[in-house]
Amino acid sequence: MDESAGAGMRWTRPRRQDMQRRVLAAVSLSYVVVILDTSIVNVALERIAGALATDIASLQWVVNTYILSLASLLLAGGTLADRFGARNIYLAGLAVFTLASAWCGLAGDLGTLIVARVLQGGGAALLLPASLSLIKQAFPEAGERAAAIGMWAGCGGAAMAAGPLAGGVLIHLFDWRSIFLANLPVGLLGLWLTCRIRGERKPLQARRLDPGGQCAAILALAALIAALIEGPVRGWSSLPVLLRMALSIAAGAVFLQLQSGRAQAMLPLSLFRNGAFSGAVLVSMVSALTFYGLVFVLSLYFQQVLAYSPLRTGLAFLPLTALVAAGSMLSNRLAVAYGARRLVIAALACYAIGFLGLLLSLSTATYWLLALPMPAIGFAAGLITPAATAALMATVEPERAGVAAGVLNSARQTGAALGVAIFGALVAAVHPFLAGLHTVLWVSAGVTLAAALAWRRGLQPD
């Protein structure tokens, strides 16, 4: 569909609604598999470690290479969606993701699995910003678009809820490879649904790729993650870790310099002049950092400290993950009733309460007491994603929807990668494991309260 067609100005209402349903079905399905592969791997960590003879640092790479590739390439994915059409890039990304999933399932060693996870993340980086761009085109009215984004995010929340349990069931019935091979039928269905969507007649904007900026962004983030993962193993003052930190800082500075001096930057810094845009990016990153980091360390706690099986670990996560979908579904309605500013502040406060509740219950080593604060964390995560996404997408014009979506999702995935790396480093450095987990929870509560304060001071006024 071209822009005028996407806006529904020349279509009959039934035809426009039919196209909207097709778009929403296709993009929601892709978001499900992307989020599944962010969460489903956590319950397989012990089985992967045993099968491939790996340690905690290697397990962090199995989780983080996917997130790192996704975060690093999302900006390029948004640019490609704007340049070559959202539908075309979405199809390409979903095809790459599906093929890479098959390769993950067939991997015979750790190196092959990590390379396949990188390709998985690359495919996801193409399809995620394209999916939001398709929503922006198909739902031109702000109210309809917010509802569609709520449904899209709700599917992601459902995937987050189902991920650990689905992974536990698949591993119980088959083995750890099945968590990747299960993506194949879903990916093929998504490709079929997307082929039924009309493509753009011409690109919305002839945006250019930025190879130099892309390489600098990848280098900055990869070096930082590597330093955080290797720090507890090699020592924070060791030469390799210090060199990686220095490389990350230098590459980040080069990236910002390149972006500030170009008319069509991969990361348009001018977008951050808008308070709603900046606020959405900030809270999305903080939410992903604390949530995904916590899921990683709790997976290790359940499997290594409490000796839970993958299936029991998946069940143990249900109080945390099940409320993500509920929060996503209610977010738009609550934002209309109380305002996005109040809703996000309440969600971040709910996060902090959940982290402090976990801190108190960990000392008992009783699962049911541990489970009591989990719904607060999951519900808060579900509320933030659609509220921040809708607020950000409302600030940009249609021809910049792809790159804006890329910025938001890149911030979210960067936060997830940093959460896994930082929290993994904390539990590896602070002994015993329970003391490291206490440190993680204190850090999580502090970071979320700081984000709430920043939001309240005007990053996202109503």
Residue 354: pLDDT over 90: yes
List CB contacts of 272: < 8 A, sequence separation 6 or more. 278, 281
Measuring CA to CA, which residue among 370, 359, 422 is closest to residue 232? Answer: 422
d(CA 69, CA 77): 11
> Does residue 150 have a pLDDT over 60?
yes
Q: Give the pLDDT band (50/70/90) at residue 45.
A: confident
Domain ranges of the chain: 3-196+266-459, 210-265
Q: For residues 76-83, give the mean pLDDT.
A: 80
pLDDT at 5: 39
For residue 161, what are its two tokens?
A: 């809820």
Tell me what the mean pLDDT of segment 317-329 comes to.
82
Q: What is the pLDDT of residues 385-418, one digit of tens each?
A: 888 877 777 777 766 766 777 778 778 878 888 8
Determine the CATH number of domain 3-196+266-459.
Answer: 1.20.1250.20
Question: What pLDDT does residue 56 have?
Answer: 62
Q: Which of 15-29, 137-151, 299-313, 390-404 has the highest mean pLDDT?
A: 299-313
pTM of this prediction? 0.75
